[in-house]
Structure formats: C-alpha cells, structure tokens
Amino acid sequence: MKQQLVKLRNVLKEQNIDIFMASSPIIRAYLSGFKGYGGYIIVGDGIQDVVTDFCHYEQALMEAPDFHLVKITEDYNIVNYIAENGFKSVAFEEKFMTVEQYLHLKEKLPEVEFIPGSSIINKIKQIKTPEELEGYKKSCEVTCAIQKEFFDNLKEGMTEIEMNAFIHAAAKRHGAEGHMFEPITLIGSNASLCHGFPT
C-alpha cells in the first residue's frame, strides 16, 4: 500500500492538488486497506486520514493502522474536515460521487476547487505492485478451486438458487472475501440472460 500512496502523492504534487478524497469502497481499500461501507480516505502531502463515522471506528483502526482516524459525528462531517484543514484543491472520484453530494460540497465550500480525480487513480493503478500481483494470483487460484468443486458436485435436478448457494459457500471455504459481482448461475431458457438472477 505504501507504493500506491507514494505514487499518488507524486501525482498530486505534479498537478498542484492538496488532497485526494477517495469515497468508493474499492479505492478506499486500495489506498488504505479499510473495507468499511462508509467514509473517506484522504491522502495528501504528509496526510493519510480515514474520515468515517462511529459504525466503522474499530474496523478502521484494525484495517488501516497507518492512517489517522478522524471521526464523523452529528456536528462534524467531511465539509468541516476540508474547511478546518484549509484545503483549496480536492481531487475526488467523479465516477462514484453523486451529483447531490458534489453540489452539497460546492455549496458549502465555494472557495475549494473540486477536481475530477478518476484519471489520477487510473494512472497509479497502471503498474501493479508485487502485492497486487500476488493478490491476482491468489484470486485466480481460489476461482479455479471454486469452479472445480462446483463441477465435481453438480447434480441433475439442482436449481439455479441451489447452484448459486453452493458457489457462495465454496467461495467462503476457499478463503474468498466476497464476489466482485453476483455469480451468474443460469440454466435452460434463462441461460441467454447475460446478468439474470437465479430462480
């Protein structure tokens, strides 16, 4: 993770941007290891903060021990955090943040420049770290093990729901943390549905 932070800080410095504000779960985890459902990861020059609410304090402390925890409360939110720190330029995930959230930030912080930052993250993700490559290798091994177990246990008469449940259970047995998307287990006339739901 340290390599990602170094690369991100270099790009921010090149583009004269104070901080990057990650709000999507995937990029929050990519930068910090924090896999909670809510909050922000803030990275800047000498700054690496997890800004999140009480539901995720303990998880943030465990998963992002190298990050400083900033607590969101009823009286303190991301707007207060940005204003308090005097940030003038904030790169954000424009492909994840809602229009409503963006307009709220612009209204409350009119002096701050909000810069679309997806291209920044895409740039630093182009070259994979050894840790990332190891993760890809492990995920391929787990996927192959799930597929083998699935086909070894597939029986005539199983419903799509039963097959789907088997894949979920096999994923847990083989150490998967979750699915990038729901497994597509469709048979018969349903098999032509690209992303149908099991019945």
* DSSP assignments along 92-152, one per residue: E-TTTS-HHHHHHHHHH-TTSEEEE-HHHHHHHHSSPPHHHHHHHHHHHHHHHHHHHHHHH
Residue 37: φ, ψ to 5°: -80, -20
Helices (H) and strands (E) in the chain, counts: 8, 6
Percent of the chain exceeding pLDDT 90 equals 79
- DSSP secondary structure code for residue 72 in this structure: -
Average pLDDT value for residue range 5-17: 95
Whole-number Å distance between alpha carbons of 57 and 38:
10
Burial class (CB in 10 A: 0-12, 13-18, 19+), 153: exposed
Give me the pLDDT at residue 195, please: 86
Given a cut of 80, whether residue 183 has pLDDT beyond it is: yes
Do the beta carbons of residue 33 and residue 64 sit within 8 Å? yes
For 103, the token pair is 């307009």
- DSSP secondary structure code for residue 73 in this structure: B
What is the band of 177 on the pLDDT scale with cuts at 50, 70, 90? confident
Whole-number Å distance between alpha carbons of 129 and 131:
5
Angle formed by the axes of helices 160-173 and 130-153, to 10°?
140
pTM listed for this prediction: 0.83
Whole-number Å distance between alpha carbons of 97 and 76:
20
Instruction: Find which of 102-106, 125-129, 182-186 is predicted with most confidence, using mean pLDDT.
Output: 102-106
Report the chain's mean pLDDT, rounded to a whole number.
Answer: 93
- DSSP secondary structure code for residue 69 in this structure: E
Given a cut of 90, whether residue 53 has pLDDT beyond it is: yes
Radius of gyration of the chain from its Cα atoms, rounded to whole angstroms: 21
Ramachandran bin of 14, using left for φ above 0, alpha for ψ from -120 to 50, beta for the remaining angles: alpha
Q: Give the Cβ contact number of residue 138 at 10 Å.
A: 12
Average pLDDT value for residue range 39-59: 95
Given a cut of 70, whether residue 1 has pLDDT beyond it is: no
Give me the pLDDT at residue 102, please: 96
Percent of the chain exceeding pLDDT 70 equals 99
